[in-house]
Structure 1
Amino acid sequence: MRTRPLKVALLGCGVVGSEVARIMTTHADDLAARIGAPVELAGVAVRRPSKVREGIDPALVTTDATALVKGGDIDVVVEVIGGIEPARTLITTAFEHGASVVSANKALLAQDGAALHALAEEQGRDLYYEAAVAGAIPLIRPLRESLAGDKVNRVLGIVNGTTNFILDKMDSTGAGYQEALDEATALGYAEADPTADVEGFDAAAKAAILAGIAFHTRVRLDDVYREGMTEVTAADFASAKRMGCTIKLLAICERAADGGSVTARVHPAMIPLSHPLASVRGAYNAVFVESDAAGQLMFYGPGAGGAPTASAVLGDLVAVCRNKLSGATGPGDSAYTQLPVSSMGEVVTRYHISLDVADKPGVLAQVATVFAEHGVSIDTVRQQGRQDGGGEASLVVVTHRASDASLNGTVEALRNLDTVRGVASIMRVEGE
């Protein structure tokens, strides 16, 4: 074993960073044995140096992250501060000064992953980011390495634990959205401002990363269709149960049937209770991968939290350190296909549409005519009069597969019918 330690700079010492530092300290001997050399925490960059950080030598703490990564003797920089800046500048500075990088920064990688990979390759450095998607779940490395000889056609997953906890509570207890969100906040699953989670921004960044790796093409955050889950209601869950389904916020990345394009999207969807993703409870994550040779694979586990995310960071750290010792670099960016990303309008799936309509003869025929005129075939229809009277009824239509553009045209025409009082909800049906 080499006796000179590999030096690690840690950028950020919050929930994840503190766990990374703790494991590096408590498991130092095991890490050294696995890597072939000791690893040394050479510095920890933070914003608030006065905060007490148990188990971390105060002499290692600094507010000057730039000076830390420019030191010239740092072998690996671990970036867990998040956000775009200063993380992007610090990572590029690390590459330019001889360090490889392990990051958990999904937002930055979804926006600038291609440029960061290009710089890493130019400088002969590694860029690893297993922790950026689905916490502790080994997912990026299997896609980049284990399935490198296969053709991945679809990645379908629950990649945000906060939203899954909320939707699971709504499903299992009948709670409304706000009630379930309040419980998630009280338990620490949701932030004080949950927008990034419940509006799908977090999942969209992860979808961009997954699509790029799975399909060997450039997919940026702006390419991902995003729809949040704040409008999901108890009535939607009741309708889903009648169909033998539940509702999940899904990240869906697909290769077109002809192989000529890809799509990436995040939105709530009904999935059959028979689908493996339907049984994913609480704050857990799961990702379903479909490929030509391997068939269907599912990766499941805790998708967030300090210790689980730190586990993924340390796994990358071991791999990068091993590469350093051997004088090699691991897999880099693989975007040789350069496939275009199709618009959401071209996506084809099934739909569940709930309408408030006048409770009188001929309404169903009018509605069916609108669907037919837009080329959307109806699978099932259920009509029920309102218990409170008022001359209105609820009409639920489930379609066969149709394009999103055709469905949008149908809904717009339905809204213009005098007999349609309102479109209560529209939800896609996936996983069949």
Structure 2
Amino acid sequence: MSDVRSAISADMPRAQRELRELVAFRSVHDERQFPREECVAAANWVRSAFLDAGMDSVELIETDDDSLAVVGHRPAPAGAPTVLLYSHYDVQPPGDRSLWDSEPFELTESRGRWFGRGAADCKGNVVMHLLALRALGDDLAVGVTVVSEGSEEMGTGGLEALVQARPELFESDVIIIADTGNAAVGRPTVTTTLRGIANVVVRVDTLNGEVHSGMYGGPAPDALAALIQLLSTLRDEHGNTVVDGLDTSQVWDGIDYPADRFRADAGVLDGVDLAGSASVADAVWARPALTVLGIDCPPVVGSAAAISPTASARLNLRVPPGIDPQTAQDALEAHLRAHVPWSARVSIEREAIGSPFRARTDGPGYAALSDAMKEAFGTEVSSAGQGGSIPLCNVLAQTFPKAEIVLMGVEEPLCRIHAPNESVDPREIENIAVAEALFLQKLGRSDR
């Protein structure tokens, strides 16, 4: 390991320069917010960087959602396995810039961390792959395919469609999805499950139009009040998610998630209790979770003394492995229709579902990566779930059923991905890069 560690440690100043260049691209895949040229420039940067890191060929492929996928190959020696290294170069919008302590698209160093949009999610993982590949140079006994996506954050499915249309580009024995991370800084963690998604928009109608609250308030059915009462049926008195007909009793059998660490990670205010009676690990990795993403109703500023005739809400239902997302969406719709008060009219708009994912943990790829992470971090490896969804994992699993899919990366809780002041700990980039390089070595040797 000493040679790999030394090479990557010496290469970290270059990695910081590269991440600074990459963060500077405003690569949000949404032309309503930033010009497409920003994503194109980022894609070209990634292509050049992987070529420089030793890939034989790297091409830009336009997908059906108008994004550019960066796909590169270095063929495997005869009889050796191929490893696919995934990342994405597109990022979330920066949001309200007044909430940032520094410019979102300028990499800034503070308190031992590197700040900037995409520093962790997922440009930090792009740089991590580059570090690992450069450390090995020609000492690669496996084939490598690199894939960097350009529309992951928007969820428009361009890469998923490309996998289905051109599977030969992605065929591999082990797939490393570098878009998750450790349970905490310095605590090596492999993600083994992802929750799926089953969203709906519910609308409640009660009146032909607004009426005066003084003249009609009381018996007149208030659509906003009806919606509030309806939404309250989706949590019990302890705050647990409850949906009629949906199993909410599953338990997590991996690493624990201490409540005090969760409070700190999530930024829970002092004196405010956590919702629900389950353990944090059960709640975020093993059970359904219902979140109200938004409500359409009169705003406080400018509101009139009138009863609302209509109100609607967008509901986000996260679905763990073991529960079919279509079944969950059916149950959610049935629950909403059954619990609406005052026989109010209800309409349900279903959004596209996403399936949960469970990784295999019994193959040589998982074993080699676990050994490599233990060696790189100097401590045992844990398994964790992730509450978010990565639809690509299911498409890859369906397309390549014999391939092992492993999720890891540089994104630990302090990164605050998708939020203002996103950051990455450079020690995580270095250690994960060391682990990935050791993994590629170990897998190549085990196949000889």
TM-score normalized by the length of structure 2: 0.23
Q: Going by fraction, where is strand more abundant, 1 or 2?
A: 1
Structure with the bigger RCO (C-alpha within 8 Å, sep 6+) is 2
